[in-house]
Amino acid sequence: MELRICHLYPDLLNLYGDRGNITTLVMRARWRGFSVRVIEARLDDPVDPDASDLFFIGGGEDRQQRLAAPDLCGVKGSALREAAAAGAAILAVCGGYQLLGHYYRPAGGPDLVGLGLLDLHTVHPGPGSRRIIGNIVVREAGAGRILVGFENHGGRTYLGSGARPIGTAIVGSGNNGQDRGEGAVWRSVYGTYLHGPLLPKNPWLADELTAAALRRRYGSTAGEVALEPLPDLEEHRAAAAAAVRAGARGLSWPEARGQRPEHPS
């Protein structure tokens, strides 16, 4: 099997080591014996909706978002909507996350029209407002798994009824500092404010994205080929230590003790 990844705007939206998410996806697939193909799509590059099954967009400042927004909607928009509707996995971080919504209203200048893949919008409260910065620990809304990362954003994101948060911020502020929600999910489309990068610290999410991408490419065949567990003990210990350092207490983390979790990994 082959994992086909498309890295969108690798030279434009790549804050805080977001590229490390690509490295994590590639290495975890190769360790399992899959071949991997990574395509980079920059400004003005069209996207083939059938050529890739996992798309990644990193974060950037307002200036970079102003450059990317019209290209995302105009050059790549139709292809990404088609791919998402067909089951492709998409992961977007911070600035990329904001651009997957309906619009981003920056502190200065006009609204940036987003792709509308996620039912949300983002508003910057204005110059001089407090940035949301710091370590963050999130409990996933589904199986209760833990995400750790680092958030740094000025915009406040508000979800509509067509999207649900990835989880609840145990430590940190999340989407808007008000409702404790962090990130957004629709089908296999994920948006989040967790930098860090995200996937090396949270290998279960990397595997979830990979599984979705393989299902899209290989259908029922992929369903019969479950992802082989990898020896992630050190990754879980590192994530558990990061959660404690961030201020989270009392978390049950059997994986960090080398035990099998009750939820699927």
Which residues are catalytic, by number?
A: 94, 195
Phi/psi of residue 207, nearest 5 degrees: -70, -35
- Please name the residues in contact with 246: beta carbons below 8 A apart, sequence gap of 6 or more: 134, 135, 136, 137, 148, 171, 172
Helices (H) and strands (E) in the chain, counts: 8, 14
Closest CA to 187 of 34, 39, 84, 82: 84
Question: Prior bond to 197 cis, omega within 30?
Answer: yes
Nearest one of 191, 192, 188 to 209, comparing CA atoms:
188
